[in-house]
Amino acid sequence: MHLIEEYNVVFELKESYYKILRRDRITRQQARPVNPRKDPQKIKERNKEIQKMLADYQPEIEAGKLVVYTINECHLVRIDLCGEVWGRVKERAEIPISNLRDRQTYYGALNLFEPEFLIKQYSAGNGENTVDFVSKLQNKTPEQRLLLF
């Protein structure tokens, strides 16, 4: 009653809101995170640095003396499994998860010049596991130097 008396607002049927949303081409969608600190100019400059570095090392790479990997770590959190899914009408899609914060860490390395991708599971992303993963890369190619991005 307060909204009607104070602001003269009367709610219509839900369908009237849906009509407005359709007319204005507004839909429900899964949001995705973006990093507000991402600086396109810095990224461009860094890409140029990497291109120059790879050009400088090209003779060693071609001779098989230097292996170039991009490495990263990824933390999968159980709650990430829940999002929009396809399912039958009037049946809620359920994914059984006992601990939403339970997570799994993976380290990966992509060889930039050979068709090779390495992945290893770890209990956490920390300095000790990072050193272990890089050591495994070194042990894989003991006669070659590594360039890691």
pLDDT tens by residue, 88-134: 778 877 777 677 667 789 999 999 999 999 999 998 889 999 999 99
Structure tokens at 146: 């590594």
Closest CA to 144 of 66, 89, 84: 66
Q: Assess whether pLDDT exceeds 80 at residue 17.
A: no
Whether residue 56 is contained in a domain is answered as: yes
Per-residue pLDDT at 43: 92
Number of other CB atoms surrounding residue 78 within 10 Å:
15
State pTM to two decimals. 0.64
Range of the domain at 122: 40-80+97-148
Whether residue 112 is contained in a domain is answered as: yes
Q: In a 3-state reduction of DSSP, which class is residue 70?
A: strand
Q: How far apart are CA 97 and CA 99, in angstroms?
A: 6
Number of other CB atoms surrounding residue 107 within 10 Å:
21
Residue 88 DSSP class = -
Per-residue pLDDT at 122: 93
Whether residue 5 is contained in a domain is answered as: no
Q: How far apart are CA 81 and CA 103, in angstroms?
A: 11
Whether residue 136 is contained in a domain is answered as: yes
Q: Assess whether pLDDT exceeds 90 at residue 6.
A: no
pLDDT tens by residue, 54-78: 999 999 999 999 999 999 999 887 6
Per-residue pLDDT at 71: 96
Q: How far apart are CA 100 and CA 82, in angstroms?
A: 10
Whether residue 17 is contained in a domain is answered as: no
Per-residue pLDDT at 11: 65
In the chain, the number of structural domains is 1
Whether residue 58 is contained in a domain is answered as: yes
Per-residue pLDDT at 12: 64
Whether residue 8 is contained in a domain is answered as: no
Q: How far apart are CA 77 and CA 113, in angstroms?
A: 31
Per-residue pLDDT at 82: 64
